[in-house]
Chains A and B, each alone.
Chain A
């Protein structure tokens, strides 16, 4: 009985040991991957921006950068909230338009303009989501670096966040333009089709 109990204990412990080893290996690998990706981003920024700080600037940045990192953390958290809100918004938009398309198909009206509008929203929001994700990653880079030790790298990552923010703004503006131009013109056409359909069906 005792030997059976001991064997069971050994097996349980071995299993626990193996699984914790696997978890440790996995987290090591993901950390390495993350660090490699961050190093690659830093290299790319280094090629794009020429930041040469004087000793005085380095000292000043080292002194003030933790405050800046706190402000960046707030911006990142706000960007995450925006991501949630926009994801839900665009899902609602596509869903509303898809239901309208279903009605058009049910009533055998041409829905090709709606197809194009839905796809335009899908494409533009995919681009926007990618850019926003990149912005959050760039903010994380600037937040997580030891800025007091590496002021130069911190400034490079900060430039990276500015660059990425421009991309996000551009992608967001593309959605604004779509909503201000293609959306109303599509609905004008849809109304015309509806009128013709109504006339034809004598309703």
Chain B
């Protein structure tokens, strides 16, 4: 009798867990695959301080020569999101600096801060945050100079080497080689500097004032000159 109860009990427990599991499976959502993801995603713009921006740009200009990799790349797709992680797959057009990569090769590029967040304490329900490093994500088909800090082997998603921007720099070191425009994007409220991701699509630099934008383009010209572009 006890033997029967044991067998039935164990099988019943397994079946219940399976049923609950299957039911739960249908409850999960994937916002990253939704077309409206850009509308519900927030991204940070640089604080309204030209002094802070100049400090950040000065630091990059001074240290960027020490970065081991500099390539001209063309993204083969817009940024890709895999659960939380965001990266860009790009084709190398020219290797300016760095070993282990050849022209025409496809590489993965990301930044530690390019991650989607939600559900954290203090965040509104259904609010998604995706930081870009105050520079718009690279767009498919356009040419960029990217200055990269290190290469890591990714065992989780791509099973490839992934090149990382220097996370110590406040701004992502990706520079669109075309003539671009940036519009001032004012933060929506006093409490934080987050704005809708869709608002940042047309600007290369995510800054709040004309003065900051002038500084940023001057910095961009200096960097491109440094790399002979």
Do A and B interact with each other, yes or no? no
B residues near A (Cβ < 8 Å) are none
A residues near B (Cβ < 8 Å) are none
